[in-house]
């Protein structure tokens, strides 16, 4: 097997707590570090950077396999986490240390960054100028341990902060596709609409994917967001597609469901807010013990041989 040659990317997107989660767990991404860069003071501390006097900005350093997850896709994810028109910080966080930037480590990254910024400017998505800087990389200094993987270590506070700062609502409003009921009724079959928009449940054993044996990836029927892999699918005997885990837990939301006189944990997609199904703790113990019981009507299956054609080539690395 060929040895993997990893590359690095550095992005400043405001509070670095919120810039780890979107990249973490994506295929081909080995590590995401929170830290500081852009200034001249060696080994700055969090308190020093927050004074906005060091020249440093909060940033993330991503170690990735470009053959699996190319730099251009990292740029796509980066833009969709920020307000690129804000020249004074991000959301509630103000000052130099919270300004956005793409720090390029070589000429190829610089060209990709400038092209992506130009594409965003020409898209008309924002009426204000794009304020994100594109700068040559300077030394990157990892932040203190308590700031690493904050979204996992302090998940409740992290979610409150992401919402309270205004970032979550901005992303939903400006970066996520919004559908009207009429658009969804045109886009979906009656069953798909019933399941995803009205929290419905399809018939067991009489649905498209309950016994699928083909390799591939399942995406949200509404948004196309990748949700599950056939590698994690198993026959739970319930008549619906069952999975031991999602591709990325951040692509799902879990809510308490007390309908029909039961207490269950509902599973919804993060991007489209589609009702998918429920998660139970009666799955295979050796696979983590969870069973994601999902409606076929909430999914679209992309077979392995079509992943590249549909822009999902990074998931080919799952299938050897």
Question: In the chain, which ranges are E strands?
Answer: 7-12, 29-37, 57-64, 89-90, 93-94, 101-104, 133-136, 141-142, 216-220, 226-229, 233-234, 242-243, 252-257, 264-269, 275-280, 291-294, 299-303
pLDDT value at residue 2:
61
Q: Is the pLDDT of residue 30 over 90?
A: yes
Residue 9 corresponds to which tokens in the numbers above? 């990317």
What pLDDT, on the 0 to 100 scale, is given for residue 298?
98
Residues of the chain with CATH 3.30.1060.10: 7-175
| Domain 7-175 grouped into CATH 3.90.1150.10 | no
Instruction: Tell me the average pLDDT across 207-229.
Output: 96
Does 15 participate in catalysis according to the annotation? yes
Percentage of the chain with pLDDT > 70? 99
Active-site annotation holds for 18: no
Average confidence score pLDDT of the chain: 95
Of residues 115 and 172, which shows the higher confidence score? 115
d(CA 274, CA 224): 11
Distances (CA, A) of 17 to 32, 33, 60, 74, 152: 11, 10, 9, 17, 10
Residues with Cβ < 8 Å from 25, sequence gap 6 or more? 247, 248, 249, 250
Q: Identify the residue with better confidence: 260 or 31.
A: 31
Of all residues in the chain, the percent with pLDDT exceeding 90 is: 88
Name residues whose C-beta falls within 8 Å of residue 56's C-beta, 6 or more positions apart in sequence.
36, 37, 38, 39, 41, 44, 49, 97, 141
In terms of DSSP bridges, do strands 101-104 and 133-136 run parallel, antiparallel, or are they unpaired? parallel
Q: For position 253, what pLDDT does the model report?
A: 87
pLDDT band at 204 (very low <50, low <70, confident <90, very high): very high
- Residue written as token pair 């804000």: 86
Q: Given this model, what pLDDT does residue 258 score?
A: 85
**What are the two backbone dihedrals, phi and then psi, of residue 115, each rounded to the nearest 5 degrees?**
-65, -40
CATH 2.170.150.20 positions along the chain are 181-318
Single pTM value for the model: 0.85
Name the catalytic one among 15, 18, 50, 238: 15
Contact 210, 301 (CB under 8 A): no
Q: The domain at 181-318 falls in which architecture?
A: Beta Complex (2.170)
């Amino acid at each position: 097997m060929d040895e993997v040659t990893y590359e690095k990317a550095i992005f400043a997107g405001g509070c670095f707590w919120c810039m780890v989660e979107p990249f973490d767990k994506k295929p081909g991404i080995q590590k995401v570090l929170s830290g500081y860069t852009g200034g001249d003071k060696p080994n700055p501390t969090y308190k020093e950077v927050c004074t906005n006097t060091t020249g440093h900005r909060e940033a993330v350093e991503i170690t990735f396999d470009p053959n699996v997850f190319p730099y251009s896709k990292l740029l796509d994810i980066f833009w969709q986490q920020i307000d690129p028109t804000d020249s004074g910080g991000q959301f509630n966080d103000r000052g130099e240390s919270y300004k956005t930037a793409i720090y390029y480590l070589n000429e190829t990254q610089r060209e990709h960054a400038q092209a992506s910024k130009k594409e965003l400017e020409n898209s008309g998505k924002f009426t204000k100028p794009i304020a994100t800087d594109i700068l040559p990389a300077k030394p990157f200094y990892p932040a203190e341990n308590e700031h690493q993987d904050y979204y996992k270590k302090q998940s409740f506070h992290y979610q409150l902060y992401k919402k309270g700062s205004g970032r979550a609502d901005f992303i939903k409003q400006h970066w996520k596709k919004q559908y009207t009921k009429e658009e969804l009724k045109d886009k979906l079959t009656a069953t798909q609409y019933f399941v995803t928009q009205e929290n419905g449940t399809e018939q067991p054993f009489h649905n498209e994917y309950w016994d699928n044996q083909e390799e591939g990836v399942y995406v949200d029927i509404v948004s196309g967001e990748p949700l599950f892999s056939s590698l994690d699918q198993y026959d739970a005997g319930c008549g619906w597609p069952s999975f031991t885990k999602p591709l990325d837990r951040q692509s799902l939301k879990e809510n308490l469901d007390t309908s029909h006189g039961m207490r269950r944990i509902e599973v919804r997609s993060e991007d489209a807010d589609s009702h998918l199904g429920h998660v139970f703790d009666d799955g295979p113990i050796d696979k983590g013990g969870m069973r994601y019981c999902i409606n076929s009507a909430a999914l679209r299956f992309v077979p392995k041989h079509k992943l590249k054609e549909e822009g999902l080539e990074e998931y080919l690395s799952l299938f050897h």
